[in-house]
């Protein structure tokens, strides 16, 4: 009889056909009434639970589903709503909930930032002025729904108090304990109601414990869980961590909980070393996260069984949960739809549904041994070996070229101060030059044209003519609006990473490999499965055409090597550093092709550098060093008069300023409006000597910002930044925005710039 059990920490929300995304956007557009919307979400939610049930998962998570974001859900559950949304108490209405996420006509959205070192982004709770109360016991409702509809004895999932407070804003460090004390009784109420309902296990996520936590935080943690144990003594609590090895292992495993969940994929070395040094409590269940919840590759099952056998030396199988390393939120739903991939690649993939099968199989093998799953093990071996031997993974030409270039120092020929002088002579730009980040609205007409071309219903010539028409329209609009540096609009690009991957060797593309980035925004990351190589110019044609239509400078637009890597699913057989250098070498050839075509401003976007930053401080310097080197490999061979731009977003600038400056980009544009200008504080304590543009309005919200909002942001920035190096731009690309709001917002931005120029001239005069 099987003793070890399988468990999942969370399942993708979006649906196998992105049904969730479609429902959200239909509701936002007023095409779906709230009752019908909620009905559709329930149907999606139950289908996910049913699938896990059918795959043989023993402990199935509930309350991992969300109408937008799980951190936003937790804030709403406690009635933590910023005052500007006029919340009046009780269950948070959907318009208020989505207002916090997306903004309204009169209220700016809450800040959004990345979820640890993943590509997912969460809504940051604002605690300032909030009086928390239990507005709704969401885990209880989710548990009841699963049990009543499907007979599932679900495992309610909660974001833990320490993690929730540490990821929130709007309070001082001195108020941390007060906020913990306000929330503890509310958590106790939730847990008591779950216990009264007959819940057997509750998963409390505390991923903050894999980061650097203080001794005070450990004291808070003990206070929290000692209170839970005393208040709900009969309830089984699984304290769940993920994304890395835990800090303070001894303190954490001694907490009065019934189970500890550890990541044995990304935190394998640290967690295993801690167990070998300190053992594991005999009275607790071990949630062993051995199947990668963030990667798409089939698990090497023999290796995983060996690891489970090693863990069996610390905990018997009746106290072992075979788990995903984290929620499966970060991977696509199923490989079932992938009919066009090369067999050697498809056979080596495992998305969420396939990971469920791996978990069930490994749980079976813990007690039955390898013989019980021999056929599956052999099939896994064949699949992984087939990919390893493929020609795409063994390109000696690429490997030798990249080894040579990565061994050299990549630097511009002259320092920024001298380059800046050359660039000013060439471009004669006004004070506070205005520009955008790159993309313009991808309308239904644009998407339809691309689809017709991809289906073969349009010829390449017809599609190219259509793209030129779009470029013509937006070049004229940018000139009319009054922008100083223009872009071609990126109408030919589906996605800032996919577009380049389609033109480089070593990439593959799924048909339905969607994952959630934020809200309803889903992305389909490319798969880097082989050696990356340049195969020909990728952006020259459209950029050169755009430049021919105007006398103002047009920026060439590329996605940087680190962002392409971090926003792709990458191979695991070589270090990520080597993948970054392969990408950088390919992009260098594109940068040189643009320059040779007469393009003198080239933007190489790196919005995802911060997302890949290791959670462990000891590993961060090394990552930043080779990330900077990759950027410089891609951009360092241009002439002094060629201006290199880059763009970053959701970046805590203060702890990366040295690395960002070392990238040696002539101009960096960086997000600041979503965080309500807080980023500017970084420059009040640090100097930045290169060109910089702070985004003055949030493109993730459909609202049109007022001129006064942007002038206030500009005024504050100019108190700490060199006016001669200051640029003005939106936060990010405008691909997802509508035509009218984009034009109106840019007009306001240009007007705010005019006001700033007049103010500066008056002061100087």
Q: Which residues are annotated as a binding site for L-methionine?
A: 437-439, 490, 605
Contacting residues for 516 by C-beta, under 8 A, at least 6 apart: 12, 13, 14, 120, 329, 522
327-365 b/e with 16+ CB inside 10 Å = b? bbbbbbbbbeebeebeebbbbbbbbbbbbbbbbbbbbbb
Q: Which residues are annotated as a binding site for L-homocysteine?
A: 437-439, 490, 605
DSSP class of residue 56 equals T
Active-site entry in 48, 330, 420, 700: 700
The token pair at 598 is 């007469």
**CA-to-CA separations, 168 to 378, 402, 577, in angstroms, rounded:** 47, 42, 32
Q: Which residues are annotated as a binding site for Zn(2+)?
A: 647, 649, 671, 732
Nearest to 697 by CA among 688, 689, 705, 708: 705
Contact yes or no for 599/556 (Cβ under 8 A) = yes
Angle at 241 between CA 235 and CA 247, to 5 degrees: 120
> Around Cβ 751, how many Cβ atoms within 10 Å?
15
Reply yes or no on whether 700 is catalytic.
yes
Instruction: With H, G, I as helix, E, B as strand and everything else as coil, classify residue 746.
Output: helix
d(CA 531, CA 725): 39
Q: Virtual CA dihedral for 129, 133, 139, 142, nearest 10 degrees?
A: -100
The token pair at 88 is 């009046």
Q: Is the dihedral of CA 350, 353, 356, 360 positive or negative?
A: negative
Nearest to 80 by CA among 205, 171, 142, 13: 171
d(CA 109, CA 99): 6
**CA-to-CA separations, 22 to 93, 227, 699, in angstroms, rounded:** 20, 42, 21
d(CA 133, CA 77): 8
Angle at 380 between CA 374 and CA 381, to 5 degrees: 90
Q: Tell me, letter by letter, the H, E, C secondary structure of 619-644.
A: HHHHHHHHHHHHHHHHHCCCCCCCEE
d(CA 765, CA 763): 5
Percent helix, strand and coil across the chain, each to the nearest 5:
50, 15, 40
Q: Virtual CA dihedral for 380, 383, 388, 394, nearest 10 degrees?
A: -170
Contact yes or no for 494/548 (Cβ under 8 A) = no
Contacting residues for 410 by C-beta, under 8 A, at least 6 apart: 629, 632, 633, 636
Contacting residues for 447 by C-beta, under 8 A, at least 6 apart: none
Residues identified as active-site: 700
């Amino acid at each position: 009889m099987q003793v070890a059990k399988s468990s999942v920490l969370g399942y993708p929300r979006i649906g196998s056909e992105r049904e969730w995304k479609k429902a959200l956007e239909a509701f936002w557009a007023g095409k779906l009434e709230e009752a019908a919307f909620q009905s559709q979400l329930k149907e999606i939610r139950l289908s996910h639970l049913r699938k896990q049930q059918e795959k043989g998962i023993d402990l199935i998570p509930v309350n991992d589903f969300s109408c937008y974001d799980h951190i936003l859900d937790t804030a709403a559950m406690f009635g933590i709503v910023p005052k500007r949304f006029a919340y009046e108490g009780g269950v948070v209405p959907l318009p208020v909930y989505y207002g916090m996420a997306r903004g309204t006509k009169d209220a700016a959205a809450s800040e959004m930032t990345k979820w640890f070192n993943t590509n997912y982004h969460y809504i940051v709770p604002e605690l300032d002025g909030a009086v928390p109360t239990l507005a709704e016991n969401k885990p209880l409702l989710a548990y009841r729904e699963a049990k009543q509809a499907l007979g599932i004895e679900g495992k309610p999932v909660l974001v833990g108090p320490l993690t929730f407070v540490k990821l929130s804003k709007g309070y001082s460090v001195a108020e941390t304990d007060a906020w913990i004390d306000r929330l503890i009784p509310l958590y106790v109420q939730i847990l008591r109601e779950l216990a009264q309902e007959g819940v057997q296990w509750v998963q409390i996520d505390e991923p903050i414990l894999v980061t650097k936590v203080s001794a005070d935080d450990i004291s808070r943690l003990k206070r929290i869980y000692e209170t839970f144990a005393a208040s709900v003594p009969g309830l089984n609590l699984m304290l769940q961590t993920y994304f890395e090895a835990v800090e303070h292992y001894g303190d954490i495993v001694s907490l009065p909980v019934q189970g500890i969940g550890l990541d044995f994929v990304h935190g394998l070395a640290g967690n295993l070393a801690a167990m070998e040094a300190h053992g594991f409590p005999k009275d607790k269940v071990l949630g062993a996260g051995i199947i990668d919840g963030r990667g798409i590759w089939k698990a090497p099952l023999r290796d995983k069984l060996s690891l489970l056998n090693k863990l069996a030396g610390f905990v018997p199988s009746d106290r072992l949960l075979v788990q995903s390393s984290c929620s499966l939120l970060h991977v696509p739903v199923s490989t079932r739809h992938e009919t066009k991939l090369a067999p050697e690649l498809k056979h080596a993939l495992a998305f969420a549904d396939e990971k469920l099968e791996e978990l069930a199989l490994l749980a079976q093998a813990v007690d039955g041994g390898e013989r019980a799953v021999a056929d599956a093990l052999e099939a896994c071996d064949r699949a992984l070996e087939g990919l390893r031997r493929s020609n795409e993974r063994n390109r000696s030409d690429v490997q030798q070229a990249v080894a040579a270039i990565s061994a050299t120092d990549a630097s511009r020929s002259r320092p920024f101060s001298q380059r800046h002088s050359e660039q000013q002579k060439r471009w004669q730009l006004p004070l506070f030059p205005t520009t955008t980040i790159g993309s313009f609205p991808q309308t239904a007409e644009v998407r339809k044209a691309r689809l017709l071309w991809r289906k073969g219903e349009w010829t390449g010539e017809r599609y190219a003519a259509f793209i030129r028409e779009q470029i013509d329209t937006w070049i004229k609009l940018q000139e009319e609006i009054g922008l100083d540096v223009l872009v071609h609009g990126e109408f030919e690009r589906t996605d800032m990473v996919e577009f380049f991957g389609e033109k480089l060797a070593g990439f593959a593309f799924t048909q339905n490999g969607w994952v959630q980035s934020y809200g309803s925004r889903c992305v389909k990351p490319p798969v880097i499965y082989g050696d990356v190589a340049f195969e020909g110019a990728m952006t020259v044609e459209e950029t050169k055409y755009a430049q021919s239509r105007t006398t103002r400078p047009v920026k060439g637009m590329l996605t940087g090597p680190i962002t392409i890597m971090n926003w792709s699913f990458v191979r695991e057989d070589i270090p990520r550093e080597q993948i970054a250098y392969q990408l950088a070498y390919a992009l260098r050839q594109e940068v040189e092709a643009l320059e040779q075509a007469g393009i003198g401003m080239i933007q190489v976007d790196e919005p995802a550098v911060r997302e890949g930053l290791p959670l462990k401080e000891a590993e961060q310097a090394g990552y930043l060093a080779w990330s900077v080197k990759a950027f410089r490999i891609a951009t360092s061979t241009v002439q002094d008069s060629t201006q290199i731009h880059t763009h970053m977003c959701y970046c805590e600038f203060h702890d990366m300023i040295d690395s960002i400056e070392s990238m040696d980009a002539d101009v960096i544009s960086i997000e600041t409006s979503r965080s309500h200008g807080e980023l500017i504080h970084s420059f009040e304590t640090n100097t930045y000597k290169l060109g910089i543009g702070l985004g003055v309005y949030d493109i993730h919200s459909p609202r049109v910002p007022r001129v006064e909002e942007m002038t206030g942001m500009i005024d504050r920035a100019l108190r700490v930044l060199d006016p001669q190096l200051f640029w003005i731009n939106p936060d990010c690309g405008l691909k997802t925005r509508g035509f009218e709001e984009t034009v109106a917002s840019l007009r306001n931005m240009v007007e705010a710039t005019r006001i700033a120029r007049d103010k500066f001239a008056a002061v100087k005069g």
